[in-house]
Amino acid sequence: MIDENLPTFYLRPSSDNVKYNASVLLSQYGSEAAPAYSLRHPDPASPSSKNRYAAALYDSYHPDILYGEVLLIPEWTQPSLSQEEIRKNGGVPPPPQPILPPSFVIQLYNPEQQAVVRQGVSKWSATPQWVFEMPQQSFRQPSVASIDRTQSDPTASETTPKFRFKWKKEGRLSKDYVCSLSGKNTNPDGSKRKNREPDITISIFKHLKEITMYEPNLMRVDIEDPKGLEVVMLLSAIVIREVYNGNMRDTFNVSDVPRRLSGEAAPRKNSYERTRRSRTDAPPSQAPPQPSHPRPPLQIQTIDPRPPPTDPRSQWEIDAESARLKKEVEREERERRHAEHAETKRVKKMLEEEERRARLQQLEIDKETERLKRQFEREQRQAHRNNNAPPPSLPSRPAAATNLLPPNFAGLNYAQPPVQRPHSANPFRPPAGPYLQGPANNASSSVFFGGGSSSHPPRPPEGRRVGSKPSIFGLLGRSNPSGQKLTRKQSAVF
């Protein structure tokens, strides 16, 4: 602060916590800084604020009162025609870069007036400076004559005298700017060679944060609209701070260059790949549900929120986006063809593998069939050989045992259970011992201990009548035609 008694304006962040807005506080005669103006900027996220700078000064207590505003649209570099740079940028020319305009216009309201601020360079110190003019008379003189009402405003008249002001940097390394009133020329003929008054300092912009008005010198300025001069000095100082001493890309809200213009970024999954995978992963039994009532196709109206291109940068963004979308479509088409080729190759390989397995399985079936066929033929030959061989000879029966059998022995029924014989009164008993032996020619020998034959007895000839059934063991004797009876002996077993 130069002097606490002088009116000083401070630029502070906005009290509503909006990043792109600010408050202008006023302090005079040592009082606390109180809000005087509200500085507003358009929302950087809004499409209408791209590639331009705008600022407006509102009343702090009446937000609807607008004192003045400024709109700054930068100039742009011409697109490069170098093929090397186009190739490096993915087939599109490099984006145009903003160029600081040499002048800007401040629009005042009530009354409407425009102040053009032009940038220049000092001849002596080569420091930048900004010059603007303010008319001495801003309001129309009250008059009842209708001819006076048809005349233009004094601010637009060429005959209205004007005061010349300029913002000048104090030094190359300094951050302070001084606004001064250019001295009047006192020569009668209007030449600028001699008799020129010195410049009068009006205000100082200290460290790009506070603006101090030299009120004693400001009273010497014979101007009809001092409020308008104050608004012009505040807005011009703010533009010098934010545009000519700030980051150009942030000031003009220039969007960044898209990273995937060249198509070298990681490819995203296209709709064909997602549909193919979903169909492959889904079980074959499950079919997609079909809607009962077909829906009419939706008509989507795409509205571009961006304004029509009014500068080369917007046009370049449109061209770059069109080129990027074109490359994206071409890349997706290549991926689709590659996926179709890979899918065809996979299906063909799967079919070849199935055919190879089928051939191997058929070879195994043929081999097993041949083996079974050879085995069947071998068994057939063996069975035919056995059928043509002579029947095997039965073992010879002993003569003594054959002669001792009764004539009707062959007609005995072996299926009938043995008949229990009554105990004989013959006291003869065979000798005790581990083996029961009897004479070979004894007709009462048991068939279990050598008396019987190992083979079945011969069947009696057909037509022969079988006599009475003897005992099962042939020990009770047999019928004698002569009527003689043999004595019955007791069995060795029972």
Per residue of the chain (494 residues), give pLDDT as tens.
678 889 999 999 988 888 889 999 999 988 899 999 999 999 988 888 888 999 999 999 998 999 999 999 888 888 777 778 777 777 777 888 888 889 999 999 988 899 999 999 888 778 889 999 999 888 887 777 777 777 777 877 778 888 999 999 887 788 899 999 987 766 666 565 556 778 899 999 998 999 999 988 888 888 889 999 999 999 999 999 999 998 888 888 887 765 544 444 444 444 444 545 554 454 444 444 444 444 444 343 444 454 555 677 778 788 888 888 888 999 999 999 999 999 999 999 999 999 999 999 999 999 999 999 999 999 988 888 888 766 666 566 555 444 545 555 444 444 455 555 544 444 445 545 444 444 444 444 444 444 444 445 555 555 444 445 555 545 444 445 444 555 565 656 55
Predicted confidence at residue 301, as pLDDT, reads 41
Predicted confidence at residue 220, as pLDDT, reads 86
pTM of the predicted model, to two decimals?
0.58
Predicted confidence at residue 452, as pLDDT, reads 45
Predicted confidence at residue 186, as pLDDT, reads 61
* 3 state SS for the chain: CCCCCCCEEEEEECCCCCCCCEEEEEECCCCCCEEEEEEECCCCCCHHHCCCEEEEEEECCCCCCEEEEEEECCEECCCCCCHHHHHHCCCCCCCCCEECCCEEEEEECCCCEEEEEEEEECCCCCCEEEEEEEECCCCCCCCCCHHHHCCCCHHHCCCCCEEEEEEEECCCCCCCEEEEECCCECCCCCCCCCCECCCEEEEEEECCCEEEECHHHHCCCCCCCHHHHHHHHHHHHHHHHHCCCCCHHHHCCCCCCCCCCCCCCCCCCCHHHHHHHHHHHCCCCCCCCCCCCCCCCCCCCCCCCCCCCCCHHHHHHHHHHHHHHHHHHHHHHHHHHHHHHHHHHHHHHHHHHHHHHHHHHHHHHHHHHHHHHHHHHHHHHHHHHHHHCCCCCCCCCCHHHHHHCCHHHHHCCCCCCCCCCCCCCCCCCCCCCCCCCCCCCCCCCCHHHCCCCCCCCCCCCCCCCCCCCCCCCCCCCCCCCCCCCCCCCCCCCC
Predicted confidence at residue 296, as pLDDT, reads 43
